[in-house]
């Protein structure tokens, strides 16, 4: 079983043109790894204690044959509306063998499923820097850059001729918040539609 504990060094650039970004990636010598459809379920305790500290448990089918269980926690939270950047993200991740059985195990342990979600991802890589072109339901595509150091992030931003001040250090939930969509209000966030919780109007 593979396990990984990291503080993620990654930034997002919202509302991109995917074709233009991928052309830039080709021009700087990045390699396209693949295109994937990903689905995941987010879990918390019944009292939502993880959510209250900016954390969540994510079970994700990566779309490439790998299934991961990840604890994620936002660091240096300034707000929840997507206006301000966090300082980073802590991630503890393991590979698991079966999506549905892992989900059942979490429920048996007392967790509740917060929501089911989907996205499409096109992955690129240059040396140790990863580039992900992500498309979520109801969101414009965005670019995520992940590297092993802030210096490498800055190099990637410069190579792609992006504006450093446009970078966002936050979660996809905050990207939704910028559009007035509170992820916690939904049980399903999928390409075939969003489903609100029964106790919400």
**Residue at 125 is within a domain:** yes
pLDDT over threshold 60, residue 99: yes
Please state which of the ranges 33-37, 46-50, 81-85, 162-166 shows the lowest mean pLDDT. Answer: 81-85
Q: 76 versus 110: which is more confidently predicted?
A: 110
Q: 73 versus 2: which is more confidently predicted?
A: 73
The partner residues of 93 in beta bridges, in order of sequence, read 4, 70
**Residue at 23 is within a domain:** yes
pLDDT over threshold 70, residue 44: yes
CB 116, CB 39: distance < 8 Å: yes
**Residue at 131 is within a domain:** yes
pLDDT at 198: 84
pLDDT over threshold 60, residue 129: yes
CB 132, CB 122: distance < 8 Å: yes
pLDDT over threshold 90, residue 77: no
Helix, strand counts (H, E) of the chain? 5, 11
Segments forming the whole domain that contains residue 158: 3-196
d(CA 135, CA 113) in angstroms, rounded, equals: 23
pLDDT over threshold 60, residue 2: no
pLDDT at 186: 96
Q: How many domains does the chain have?
A: 1
**Residue at 61 is within a domain:** yes
CATH number of the domain that 60 lies in? 2.40.320.10
Please state which of the ranges 53-57, 136-140, 195-199 shows the lowest mean pLDDT. Answer: 195-199
pLDDT at 86: 75
pLDDT at 85: 76
Which helix (H) or strand (E) is 39 found in, with range?
strand 31-44
**Residue at 201 is within a domain:** no
d(CA 70, CA 94) in angstroms, rounded, equals: 6
pLDDT at 9: 87
pLDDT at 6: 57
pLDDT over threshold 80, residue 5: no
d(CA 63, CA 111) in angstroms, rounded, equals: 24
What percent of the chain stands above pLDDT 70? 92
d(CA 187, CA 172) in angstroms, rounded, equals: 16
Q: 78 versus 117: which is more confidently predicted?
A: 117
**Residue at 32 is within a domain:** yes
């Amino acid at each position: 079983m593979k396990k990984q504990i990291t503080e993620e060094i990654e930034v997002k650039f919202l509302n991109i043109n995917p074709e233009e970004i991928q052309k830039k990636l080709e021009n700087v010598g990045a390699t396209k790894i693949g295109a994937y459809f990903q689905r995941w379920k987010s879990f918390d305790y019944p009292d939502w204690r993880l959510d209250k500290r900016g954390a969540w448990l994510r079970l994700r089918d990566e779309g490439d044959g790998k299934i991961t269980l990840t604890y994620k926690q936002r660091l240096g939270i300034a707000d929840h509306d997507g206006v301000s950047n966090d300082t980073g993200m802590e991630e503890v991740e393991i590979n698991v063998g079966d999506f549905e059985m892992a989900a059942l195990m979490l429920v048996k342990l007392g967790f509740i499923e917060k929501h089911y979600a989907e996205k499409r991802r096109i992955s690129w890589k240059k040396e140790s820097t990863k580039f992900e072109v992500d498309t979520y339901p109801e969101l414009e595509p965005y670019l995520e850059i992940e590297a092993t150091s802030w210096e490498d992030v800055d190099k990637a931003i410069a190579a792609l001729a992006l504006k450093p001040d446009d970078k966002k250090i936050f979660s996809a939930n905050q990207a939704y918040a910028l559009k007035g969509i509170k992820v916690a209000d939904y049980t399903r966030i999928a390409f075939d539609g969003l489903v609100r919780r029964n106790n919400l109007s």
